[in-house]
Amino acid sequence: MNKKILAIFLLSILFTGFLPALLSQNEDGKSITIKVPAVKRVESGLEGAVFDATVFTKPGSGRVFVDTWPLSELDTQASCRFASVVASDILKVPHSRYDYFYTIRADSPVIGGPSAGAALTIATIASIKKLDIDPHVMMTGMINPDGTVGPVGGILEKIMGANAKGIKVFLIPSGQSVIQIIEEGKIDTVNVIEHAKSRWGITVIEVDDAIDALWYFTGYKIKEEKPPSKVIVNTDFIKEKALSEFVVVEKLSKNTSHKLDSETIGYREYQTFNEFLKRANSNIDTAKNNLSKKRYYSAMSNTFNAKIQLNYISDSIDVLVNKDSNIVKNKIEAAQKELDEANELISTESLSIRGITSFECLAASEKRAIEAENLIADAWKNFYNQKYYDAVYYADFALERAKTAKLWMDISKENSKGESIIDESQIKYNASQRIEDARLSLIYAQTLIGKNTLLTQSSELLTAAENEYEKGKYAAAIFDAIDSKVRSSVSIELWSSGEDVIKQRLERAKEQAGGAIYLARKAGGEPLMAESYYEYASTFEDSDKINSIILYKYAKGVAFALRFLEPIEEISTPQDGAVIEKTSTIVAKKSYNYVAYFIGGLLIGLIIGGIAVFYTKREIYR
């Protein structure tokens, strides 16, 4: 054969063979299709089913597109949106850096539910990082906001469906390897791991979180810096103030008690004030105990409450005995004066935020100043309605709140030295992202749960964050948005959970909060507010585990509050975020995608090469 003809023929085959494989690697992202187990309703009850979920990501602005057929229930669509948020959080990249496309396809309608969330999160991570998914691995589990995998139903039915697709490894949420099934009125306990292995040869594995699951699907682990097993957290920065305030409040308690006993007041008023005195002394006793354990922030919180209660008793007695409303008016004006001074300090601080320490102190001060402002408004409202005792209480509360706003500005001056300046535009951008994250978490939680106390609190905090953002109080907005997301997250994670699960979540929240504080310190600066809430959380571990979990998670959120700062100059390409590393998996991964691409390309190449040879020969023999 003519050498020219042969060269054309071979080049055509090789080029066309490699072309599909090259084109499959879209520079914007990788299209990932993952098989997701589900259940569908049949005449005999529930039956396992499998649907395809295709995820594609590309640089964008945080938009999420969901295309489902047959039409799915709202919680499936919410799971897609939430998977995008959790995946970006795990990879430590801003959610707004990408657009996310989810395509759900099933042969028949499947029962809606959040159980696809974990699998969708894995597929999203794989798309962003351009990883291959092992087709022999499948997973069921709800995804929680912190990346943990939540419980689901229909596990046996789902494994049955997976068996029909040739699945070798099936991942389930931690703690669900032993389940109970009801058949013909009888309750049987089934060990899912043993049953699946003996009946279908499928290896069932419990996983705690999406990071664990990622390894089984891709062979990659998220490379994270491990903090020490025990992180030392203390609040010595506020020690001197806590000790001096305790001396003040003890003296105030004695003076107030003497005043209550010596003044001539009616029986009903005496009983009311005496109840307040008991509460104040209880707070003082708790403060004393916290001081003995070197919990200085917690002790400050106790003395703060005690001072409000004691001042309320003393001021109310003055109003009652002297029958002079000017006492109330003067008290409100004193609170306003204290607040004006605090706002002046806050205004100066916001012009030069010096790293995490300065930022946290600014946020703490802004939040307290806003609270004092609202309390003063309530005080005036009650004053004009001649409800003087209520007005006194709000005024005393506002005064102490304004004082703590000033206190955190003093703490900032003493502790935020040598840290780099953060531009206000960066804080503003961070606030907008935190508010959007909190809003999505709340919507997701409401879709799953409906209403409860934590979600009501989350909604109120989100509204507060939005209002603070509009007023330019960006640091406070970040704190309230974090708090809002925490409460939505805890609501989801503890949804129908027993005492054992709550205890596990508490241990995990505490460990993660300590790790966040360690990493924040390593990045430079001291996360004082995070340390304060970590300490405060420890005081509720026995008495109120759920509140303790909330505070530990809040401490973690505050320590990571400045994780996503938009650069002052816009970056056109996504940040790398978390580092991933390849390790071996329990299932030998074989991806035939590129082989298929190459074979398909060769066939096309043969056709094109044949045509080229045919016409070349015609030219030669013409």
Task: Please check the confidence at residue 145 and state whether its pLDDT lies above 90.
Answer: no
Kindly indicate the confidence band of residue 151, based on its pLDDT and cuts at 50, 70 and 90: confident
**Residue 14 shares a structural domain with residue 143:** no
**Residue 17 shares a structural domain with residue 95:** no
**Residue 198 shares a structural domain with residue 121:** yes
Structure tokens at 433: 């992202």
* Mean pLDDT within 487-501: 84
- Does 272 map to a domain? no
Question: According to the model, what pLDDT value does residue 550 have?
Answer: 97
Question: According to the model, what pLDDT value does residue 109 have?
Answer: 72
Structure tokens at 222: 């998220």
- Does 181 map to a domain? yes
**Residue 99 shares a structural domain with residue 123:** yes
Distances (CA, A) of 165 to 49, 205, 206, 291, 308: 10, 18, 20, 62, 66
Asked if residues 484 and 438 have their Cβ atoms less than 8 Å apart, the reply is yes
Kindly indicate the confidence band of residue 23, based on its pLDDT and cuts at 50, 70 and 90: very low
Distances (CA, A) of 312 to 237, 242, 326: 29, 21, 15
- Does 545 map to a domain? no
Q: Which helix (H) or strand (E) holds 103?
A: strand 98-105
Q: Tell me which residue has tokens 């939540």.
A: 150
Structure tokens at 521: 């310190």
Question: According to the model, what pLDDT value does residue 577 have?
Answer: 65
Top-confidence range, 13-17, 43-47, 58-62, 579-583: 58-62
Task: Please check the confidence at residue 106 and state whether its pLDDT lies above 80.
Answer: yes
Question: According to the model, what pLDDT value does residue 565 have?
Answer: 58
Range of lowest pLDDT (169-183, 313-327, 478-492): 169-183
Question: According to the model, what pLDDT value does residue 76 have?
Answer: 75
Q: Are β-strands 178-183 and 186-191 bridged in parallel, bridged antiparallel, or unpaired? A: antiparallel
User: Comparing 70 with 234, which gets the higher pLDDT?
Assistant: 234
Task: Please check the confidence at residue 200 and state whether its pLDDT lies above 80.
Answer: yes
DSSP string, 139-150: E--EEPTTSBEE
Asked if residues 207 and 216 have their Cβ atoms less than 8 Å apart, the reply is yes
**Residue 18 shares a structural domain with residue 40:** no
Range(s) of the domain holding residue 194: 31-223
Q: Write down which residue in 188, 223, 258 finishes a domain.
A: 223
Domain count, the chain: 2
Question: According to the model, what pLDDT value does residue 421 have?
Answer: 81
Q: How far apart are CA 446 and CA 454, in angstroms?
A: 11
Q: What is the pLDDT of residues 585-612, one digit of tens each?
A: 555 444 445 455 455 555 655 665 555 5
Q: What is the rounded average pLDDT for all residues in the chain?
A: 86
* Mean pLDDT within 161-171: 95
**Residue 130 shares a structural domain with residue 171:** yes
Structure tokens at 498: 């027993």
- Does 552 map to a domain? no
Range of lowest pLDDT (42-46, 60-64, 199-203, 411-415): 42-46
- Does 415 map to a domain? no
- Where in 224-302 does DSSP place strands (E)? none
**Residue 125 shares a structural domain with residue 51:** yes
**Residue 43 shares a structural domain with residue 188:** yes
Kindly indicate the confidence band of residue 420, based on its pLDDT and cuts at 50, 70 and 90: confident
User: Comparing 511 with 1, which gets the higher pLDDT?
Assistant: 511
Q: Write down which residue in 223, 252, 275 finishes a domain.
A: 223
Q: Tell me which residue has tokens 């000790």.
A: 243
Name the residues annotated as catalytic.
115, 158
**Residue 16 shares a structural domain with residue 50:** no
User: SS in 3 state form for 330-376?
Assistant: HHHHHHHHHHHHHHHHHHHHCCCEEHHHHHHHHHHHHHHHHHHHHHH
Q: How far apart are CA 599 and CA 20, in angstroms?
A: 10
* Mean pLDDT within 364-377: 97
**Residue 41 shares a structural domain with residue 10:** no
Question: According to the model, what pLDDT value does residue 318 have?
Answer: 94
Question: According to the model, what pLDDT value does residue 366 have?
Answer: 96
- Does 609 map to a domain? yes
**Residue 8 shares a structural domain with residue 103:** no
* Mean pLDDT within 566-585: 54
> Phi first, then psi: what are they for 484, rounded to 5°?
-60, -45
Kindly indicate the confidence band of residue 295, based on its pLDDT and cuts at 50, 70 and 90: very high
**Residue 105 shares a structural domain with residue 192:** yes
Q: Write down which residue in 200, 223, 246 finishes a domain.
A: 223
CATH at residue 170: 3.30.230.10
Top-confidence range, 127-141, 168-182, 342-356: 127-141
- Does 179 map to a domain? yes
- Does 469 map to a domain? no
Question: According to the model, what pLDDT value does residue 360 have?
Answer: 93
> Phi first, then psi: what are they for 334, rounded to 5°?
-65, -40
524 backbone φψ class: left, alpha, beta (φ>0; ψ -120 to 50)? left
DSSP string, 291-336: HHTT-HHHHHHHHHHHHHHHHHHHHHHHHHHH--THHHHHHHHHHH
Task: Please check the confidence at residue 429 and state whether its pLDDT lies above 50.
Answer: yes
Task: Please check the confidence at residue 115 and state whether its pLDDT lies above 70.
Answer: yes
Task: Please check the confidence at residue 572 and state whether its pLDDT lies above 60.
Answer: no
Q: Are β-strands 45-59 and 353-354 bridged in parallel, bridged antiparallel, or unpaired? A: unpaired
The residues pairing with 49 across neighbouring beta strands, listed in sequence order, are 38
What are the helix (H) ranges across 141-191? 155-164
